[in-house]
């Protein structure tokens, strides 16, 4: 009898497991798309882009974000299974981090030039700063949401009972 229950449980998990994972990935992908749309809206407003400027800028910016996301994903996924001493591992990690930062700087430098080709200098110069501001706003917003979910409120003026 226990064996039959175990088989049924296994069969149910085989069918239910992938759908749960897929639902979580879909929700996560939808959230990421919403955030990207809000970010584009924020940048368009912050940079005061005209419709013509936005039409030229957005494809370049989308390419930039794809390259950055790809680099971040590579950086996050790289895991060496080498058997190194702690000192060797530390040196290797430092080298990897410096290489990652150099590649990120290369991408940003290249796209800085590309942004200057499609936007006036003042607006092109504000892209990275505006992007950083957006990230800071999102971090604050997500932290406030987390605090509210935990029942602790999010504001400094909230009184505790």
């992938």: which residue's tokens?
18
Q: Is residue 3 part of a domain?
A: no
Q: Is residue 18 part of a domain?
A: no
Token readout for 22 is 């897929």
For the whole model, what pTM was predicted?
Answer: 0.69
13 close to 97: Cβ distance less than 8 angstroms = no
Domain span including residue 93: 42-138
Domain count, the chain: 1
Q: What is the pLDDT of residue 25?
A: 59
CB neighbours of 144 closer than 8 A, spacing ≥ 6? 154, 155
All residue ranges of the chain with pLDDT < 70 are: 1-25, 79-82, 152-161
Q: What is the pLDDT of residue 76?
A: 86
Q: What is the pLDDT of residue 161?
A: 45
Q: Is residue 32 part of a domain?
A: no
Q: Is residue 153 part of a domain?
A: no
Q: What is the pLDDT of residue 37?
A: 92
Q: Is residue 59 part of a domain?
A: yes
Q: What is the pLDDT of residue 84?
A: 76
107 close to 64: Cβ distance less than 8 angstroms = yes
DSSP 47: T
Q: Is residue 117 part of a domain?
A: yes
C-alpha dist (Å) from residue 74 to 71, 96, 97, 109: 5, 11, 12, 20
Q: Is residue 46 part of a domain?
A: yes
């Amino acid at each position: 009898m226990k064996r039959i229950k175990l088989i049924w449980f296994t069969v149910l998990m085989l069918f239910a497991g992938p759908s749960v994972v897929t639902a979580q990935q879909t929700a996560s992908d939808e959230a990421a798309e919403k955030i990207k749309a809000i970010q584009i809206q924020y940048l368009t407003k912050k940079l005061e882009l005209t419709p013509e400027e936005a039409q030229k800028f957005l494809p370049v910016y989308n390419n930039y974000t794809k390259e950055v996301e790809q680099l971040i994903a590579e950086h996050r996924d790289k895991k060496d299974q080498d058997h190194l001493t702690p000192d060797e591992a530390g040196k290797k990690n430092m080298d990897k981090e410096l290489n990652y930062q150099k590649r990120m700087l290369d991408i940003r430098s290249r796209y800085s030039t590309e942004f200057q080709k499609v936007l006036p200098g003042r607006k092109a110069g504000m892209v990275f700063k505006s992007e950083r501001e957006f990230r800071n706003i999102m971090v604050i917003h997500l932290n406030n949401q987390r605090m509210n979910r935990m029942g602790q409120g999010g504001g400094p003026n909230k009184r505790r009972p």
